[in-house]
Structure 1
């Protein structure tokens, strides 16, 4: 039997269970590093399909590794686990997780015939921006034996190569000195003024930034009362750029703006985070092209590169791509105009179009793994990576 047909028939046996699992995960959102149910459900399902499952890998309780086969070419599939605080699965990780598990199950049917090992990695905390789960897993060796890594991501368009920026995320904290705002303002150090100066400096810096640079944030604490000089002011900020090298430049520029706030007011500045940035994505063009051809055979149409660059995002999958050949395409669902991280997008992730994305994404990635294994030159290129 043709290997792709065999993989498809094997996936069909699990289709209803995968959709049900996607809906269960969607109905039980768990934020970063707390994905206990999600991790357990996915691990148990893979175990029932003959995978060897290791839980709590890389020092992360909710991370897991599930393997099938013993071939020399080890193809990894990432299953992201976490939801967003407050809006649940508004980035569609329930689809990513079940699609990744489905891809592993479909490819496992022909793994021995093709001489490959299929590894499904449960990757927590992609939304934990100070240090994404895949970054920790990379540091602790979870990707060391893989030759390639695949995943896809739900959004409003099918995209061959998503625009993925390098990014650094951090908390800014100004510590001043409280005082009566009218009776004794001269005795205070205004932490809110320090933040205002920094934000003004960032705004004035924008004309000297690239069109692909991003600096954005929110105030998480602005003071306690209008008649008290604010002693503690905090904010969460993100800096993004097209590449890691570009990120370093705009990050330093942004740090100088925050330092200016401290210098001008006398407040103490503390930066928490930023030491483990998300990298830009270096798509493996050959593997991405194979994925696109497989998805087009399932009736999907792809966005233009210009459309793709109109939706720049960041993910710790970028860090994986700098370590091993990787792909991170977008898979479309009917969002009815909603964008990722909006409540309406979360609603769209448990609909008929989302269920189709679970199946199409699983089959498309499984077929891509088959193409990788069957392409002599590509296979040899990947085997040389380790």
Structure 2
């Protein structure tokens, strides 16, 4: 390794990022203008691969295992493997209202800045394109099929309304629910029917009442997709989607049991048949690597964006599952004063604004500089290497 005494790696990384930044912003805006939902990110992954092909010496694989919209790119052959995650799926109906165009572009920027330095730093820098964070747990599937194998440290940034060097998400599971009854004329022969809407109504009531006894940090929320077709027909089908969240996976298992009891109560009361299907993998609680988080916080401050500890718990992410296997960080980067909350149309607009572009620069540079610090000979590097042997 060439030491930092003779070379200023951070300055070189910043210079490379500056040279390529217009292209990176153009990539972000293109993603924003053409949103694709989970597992359908075919344009996004192709455009990301096209950008990576312009970087000399990068090894690129598009389509990993059973995931055609997953991607792996690597530069360098060093012992320390640093994985930077890119998300690029959008939300149905409201596009990039979670700012994944920013996440993907910051990851691309950090990788672009680090790739020419990888062998000098004795690292292998890896960019992982991870599909379907919103609705399918792409990272969980990638963990299962070995795409993260060899990682010593993983990171990504996420836009929001705060500048914080960590995220406190909930563990989470989602379910699709259907009550199956029997239709009948609601006036002439109602006694011949089994009312699926009644089953849903009882379940909703039970869930509402159960909230008084939920443990701190437990949540249940959902929506009804369908519940009948005409007022004079006994509904034979009622469907909905439910999510449960908790501080950790053990608490999540307990609140899962509450939800299932409430749904079963509705079916029992109405004489309907209940069908429950888990919708995607379970998302775990997040285990932030404090040493890495402190490194990122120092570098973000040096970039001009001071960071604070997490101020509140909220949301869920499949990056949390990665943190159970490898040292991981997930800093949050604000889109500025007056930033709307994520997952609404106003935030989607902000994700392609000047503040969104600034978040890409700051996030990419802070991640690149943090990777350089992790690569330097130190106890931190030694600890990261030792954790994955």
The CA deviation at 1:334 is 3.1
2:101 alignment counterpart: 94
Where 1:127 maps in the other structure, the secondary structure is coil
- 1:117 and 2:117 correspond: no
Are positions 1:60 and 2:67 aligned together?
yes
The equivalent residue for 1:236 is: 241
Q: Is the 8 A contact 1:58 1:136 kept in 2?
A: no
Aligned to 1:43: 49
List aligned pairs for 1:268-287, cutoff 5 A.
268-274=273-279, 276-287=281-292
- Maintained 8 Å contact 2:305/2:362: no
So what's the TM-score if we normalise by structure 2?
Answer: 0.96
Deviation at 1:337, TM superposition (A): 4.2
User: Residue in 2 aligned with 1:21?
Assistant: 27
1:283-322 alignment, distance < 5 Å = 283-305=288-310, 307-309=311-313, 312-322=314-324
Secondary structure at the counterpart of residue 356 of structure 2: helix
Contact 2:166–2:309, Cα closer than 8 Å, also in 1: no
Provide the residue aligned with 2:206 in structure 1.
201
Check conservation: 2:222, 2:240, Cα contact below 8 A. yes
TM-score normalised by length of structure 1: 0.96
SS at match of 1:287: helix
CA contact (8 A) 1:334 1:348 kept: no
Is the CA contact (8 Å cut-off) linking 1:161 and 1:308 kept in structure 2? no
Instruction: Report the equivalent of 1:247.
Output: 252
Show the counterpart of 1:340. 342
Per-residue CA deviations over 1:73-119 (Å, capped at 9, x if unaligned) read 10000000101110000000000001001111112232112110000
The answer to whether the 8 Å contact 2:82/2:124 transfers is yes
The alignment's C-alpha RMSD in Å is 1.2
Gaps of 5+ in 1: none
Gaps of 5+ in 2: 1-6
Q: Bigger CA drift: 88-97 or 209-218?
A: 209-218
How far the C-alpha of 1:222 sits from its partner, in A, is 1.3
Of 131, 137, 144 in structure 2, the residue corresponding to residue 132 of structure 1 is: 137
CA deviation map 1:262-281 (0-9, x unaligned): 11111111111157201111
Shift of 1:3: 1.1
After the TM superposition, which residues 138-287 of structure 1 pair with which residues of structure 2 at under 5 Å, given as runs? 138-274=143-279, 276-287=281-292
Does 1:8 find its partner at 2:10? no
Counterparts of 1:255 and 1:336, CA distance in 2: 40
* Contact persistence 1:159–1:308 (CA under 8 A): no
CA contact (8 A) 1:166 1:247 kept: yes
Secondary structure of the structure 1 residue equivalent to 2:52:
helix
Which of these residues, 105, 113, 120, is aligned with residue 112 of structure 2? 105
Q: CA deviation at 1:211?
A: 3.0
1:75 match: secondary structure: strand
Q: Tell me the equivalent position of 1:78.
A: 85
Does the 8 Å CA contact 1:335/1:345 hold for their aligned counterparts? no
Which residue matches 1:368? 370
Where 1:109 maps in the other structure, the secondary structure is helix
Q: Which moved more, 1:205-214 or 1:39-48?
A: 205-214
